[in-house]
Amino acid sequence: MPPSIRRPGGARGLGLAAFGVVFVLCCAADAFVLRTVWIGKQPALGQFGRGYFETFADGVSLAIDGAIRPDTIPTFLLTDGGDLGVPPGMTAVAPLTPGVDYILAADSPLAAYIVIGAEAPVTPVAAHESIHPGEARLVGGRTLSLRDSRLALEAWDPARPWREDADRLTALRRACALPDGGLALAVTAVNGRLDIRLGRCAASEPLPSQRPLLAALAGPAWLTITRHPGWMQERRIQWPVLAAIVLKVGTIWWGLGAPSAVAVSAALGLAAWRMPLPATLTWPLTLAVGLVAAALRAGVRILRKLPSQMRVPAVLAVGLLAAGKVALDAMQPDYFPPITRAHAAHGESDACAVIGYSTVKGEGLRREHGGIRWDLDESCERCRAKTAGLFAGGETLDWARKAYCSSARSFGANGQVIFWGGANDDFLTGLLAIAQLMVVAPQGIGPWHNNQVSASAASLARIDLQVSALDGLMQCVRTRGARFLFLHDFLVTDLLNGRGADRTAMLARRRTAVETAGGTFIDLLEVFGPQAGISWFNDYVHPSLIAHERIADLVCHQSP
């Protein structure tokens, strides 16, 4: 066959190859933009457990399980250097095994907070339940202190207010910091002894006879733990995100042309190099543009194939179908979770109606069992066998209004409606704030800190929407003859310096709205801040059973 006949086929093959290369490069640029969304690393299971503060027969201590990948944000993460990041409020509990060294550093001026103890069996959450694998408790806890100006382990009191723990950790820094300010805390088990070095201070003593444990408590700041040998890692890949990338590039390519697809992917890829968060938040808009462009082109091609007299009726029919679908969706009632009673055996009277978000659900508690709803239902005379809850994680005041106003009229009727929340609304009022939290969460400690300011500012900009939702909620409460109690929660980080200016401003507007409408508003930080300590939180936002019990007691003693 003459060469002149073969060339077109070769040129066509070269064109397909170039098409494929450019398409892959566009997908690679988009994958770079979404790199914190579709790929990540996490600590392998079995290396440490998660601690929960609970009350046992001998007092407050830590229960432990292996649930180190909770849905809460932020959660345990691995830094770029391979260290374990423990978020504010969380506790990591690791075995002290010979040959394994731990080096801890607090993301604050204070010394790292550790507790040395021994492993013991834990009681079941309920009498009829069995112990799950990995569940245990820490006993005989001791923590670092100064004794005669020397580093030593003293009996641990987890119920101490944070200000007392902060004073102790500050004293450790002053006494033990290196000349350059370094204050790494190294813990090693070797030859039956425990060696501890904090900056220029050191201590050594025998290991507990039972399985020794190291509890690393983040407190109100992040804590990083370096392990030798290093932490075992697992990679996670979100395949649906990769599929969405291919879909986005393909739809823009087909709908608007190859130059547009290349330009959009290149622009986002370059922007992500310097401004990763804005580029990531912009990416979904480009997917929407691609889908619309592809749909329009497909519609035009179909219309061209129809006879000319059929084109206008076809467009009208499609428009009517779309309008009908929108109308049907608008007519569908919103779905809200069912009212949940602490004990299904009690009657239909819900005189104590507790509404809120994941805290009211019980998230952050071991097995999500117990909490304010159980405490009121079992221990408060006027709420006994009359307590019910309505809750959903990750929601805001607008959801609370719609959910309560759409609930059965018996829910809270002629009784009390108790709302526990506020922190969600500090950060999640507005789509942009929610997107920022979801994107930043896997990026590490620095980006998480930086996002707090922008997320709360975005919510403050929508404070009028919050107040409007709160007004609507209280109006529904009044129509049922109920009293309204707003329990404004706080974060573990607020134990350091209180709320920032934006969050304080939002709290003030919420307080005014509640009290103007005749409700009762309680700032839990104002009431419990001086006495709240390390044992009040199991993570960044969710209180421990200790806090649930104290807050339930506060509610019970409010005037009826």
Domains delineated in the chain? 3-33+238-331 (no CATH), 42-235 (no CATH), 340-556 (3.40.50.1110)
Q: What is residue 128's predicted lDDT score, i.e. its pLDDT?
A: 62
pLDDT greater than 70 at residue 423: yes
- How confident is the model over 332-352, as pLDDT tens digits? 656 677 888 866 545 567 889
pLDDT at 549: 96
Report the pLDDT value the prediction gives residue 417, as an integer from 0 to 100.
97
Helix, strand or coil, per DSSP, at residue 539: coil
Q: Would you put residue 476 in left (φ > 0), alpha (ψ -120 to 50) or beta?
A: alpha
pLDDT score recorded for residue 448: 73
Over the chain, what is the mean pLDDT? 88
Residue 10, Cβ density class (10 Å: 0-12 exposed, 13-18 middle, ≥19 buried) = exposed
Query: Could you tell me the pLDDT band of residue 313, with boundaries at 50, 70 and 90?
Result: confident
- Dist CA 521 CA 487 (whole Å): 6
Q: Please report, in angstroms and rounded to a whole number, the separation of the first and last CA atoms in the chain.
A: 99
Residue 264 — very low, low, confident or very high, per pLDDT cuts 50/70/90?
very high
Share of the chain above pLDDT 90, in %: 64
pLDDT of the residue at 2: 41
- Which of 188-202, 345-359, 371-385 has the least mean pLDDT? 345-359
The pLDDT assigned to 5 comes to 39
Cα(63)–Cα(54) distance, integer angstroms: 7
pLDDT at 555: 96
pLDDT of residue 392: 92
What is the rounded distance in angstroms from the CA atom of residue 201 to the CA atom of residue 135?
A: 34
Residue 124 above 70 pLDDT? Answer: yes
Write down the pLDDT at residue 96.
Answer: 95
pLDDT band, very low/low/confident/very high, at 499 (cuts 50, 70, 90): very high
Phi, then psi, of 412 in degrees rounded to 5 = 85, 0
The pLDDT assigned to 327 comes to 72
Lowest mean pLDDT among 188-202, 342-356, 456-470: 342-356
Strands 39-43, 233-237: parallel, antiparallel or unpaired by DSSP?
A: antiparallel
63: β partners: 52, 137
State yes or no: pLDDT of 311 exceeds 80: no
Residue 528 CA: distances (Å) to CA of 512, 522, 532, 551: 21, 10, 6, 9
Please tell me the number of Cα atoms within 13 Å of 381 on its side-chain side: 4
| Token representation of residue 488 | 């404004």
Q: How much is the pLDDT for 8?
A: 45
Query: What region does 414 belong to: left with phi over 0, alpha with psi -120 to 50, or beta?
Result: left
Which pair of tokens denotes residue 106? 């607090």
- Cα–Cα distance for residue pair 436/454, rounded to 1 Å: 9
220 backbone dihedrals φ, ψ, rounded to 5°: -80, 5
User: pLDDT digits over 46-90, tens only?
Assistant: 999 999 999 998 899 999 999 998 878 788 988 888 899 999 999
pLDDT tier, 12 (very low <50, low <70, confident <90, very high otherwise): low
Higher per-residue confidence, 1 vs 470: 470
Residue 277 has pLDDT above 90, yes or no: no
Residue 437: the pLDDT is: 59
Q: What is the pLDDT of residue 249?
A: 94
Residue 95 confidence (pLDDT) above 70? yes
Helices (H) and strands (E) in the chain, counts: 18, 22
Backbone angles phi, psi at 461, to 5 degrees: -65, -20
